[in-house]
Amino acid sequence: MKLKGKVALITGAGRAIGRSHALRLARLGADIVVNDINLVSYKEFDEQIGGASVVEEVKALGVRAVGIEADVGKKTEVEAMVQQALAEFGQIDILINNAGGLAGEVMASQASTVSEEDLRATFDRNLMGTIFCCQAVAPAMKEQKWGRIVNTTSQAGMQSQAWGIYASYGAAKAGVINYTKYLATELGPFGINVNCIAPAYVNTKRLQVKVYQAMPGVLDQTLAQIPLGRLAEPDDISKAVEFFVTDLGDYVTGQCLSVCGGAIKFS
């Protein structure tokens, strides 16, 4: 078990992709700190899981787990969460910054018209939350001379989307990419690797409800953009996380890996 003896803090892990990360790392032997603004957030979109909560699912895999509700966009809550995790486990070896998402309606997220409220909330959820969590775990990782941080950007942070939607989200996620590069440069000498993943279209209940059910025809348009011909499943993204946090990624830092089925094109 490659991660036995390690402790992983995963934000936004109450459902969907974050839940998938928690279960995959638990199967690799890591003890898990499950963070979410609502630890039973899977209920919001009627997502089916194998227990009363992700914490209970993780414990059933034979590792230790604790759930901590906190809003990653609020620095004081992040700092309190990290201190609670350290008090519980004595260490944090891995940080997966998964929490995020667009604030507001998709069709109201264009660059020239997005509201200040939605813009600030989107930046808080994605960019500021990532920064606050990285800053909070850095001292402990530096002291132990080892750490793995994986941030989450998006296809929207790498190229503009159709009709100019997701502009606020894309701007925040682009910030995550550059923050990752700077942090990797700073923390590399302490044995801490910092990378980010860029998912494109992931088959979550939230995406089904908020986009594909609300906007008929968009699913077919989406699939037409993906050479592999299907949406990603959450575990497709978690496999990339496994690479970065295990020995497989020991000599990789400051990088952004697109996990998109070929949807993102590079020249």
Which residue among the candidates 42, 166, 169, 201 is catalytic per the annotation? 169
Buried b (16+ CB within 10 A) or exposed e, 141-157: bbeeeebbbbbbbbbbb
From CA 192, how far away is CA 134, in angstroms rounded? 11
From CA 220, how far away is CA 34, in angstroms rounded? 34
Residue 169 appears among annotated catalytic residues: yes
Q: Is 262 left (phi over 0), alpha (psi -120 to 50) or beta?
A: left
From CA 173, how far away is CA 100, in angstroms rounded? 9
Contacts 24+ apart (CB under 8 A), 83-90: 85/7, 85/9, 85/33, 86/140, 88/33, 89/7, 89/31, 89/33, 89/64, 90/7
Q: Which residues are catalytic?
A: 169
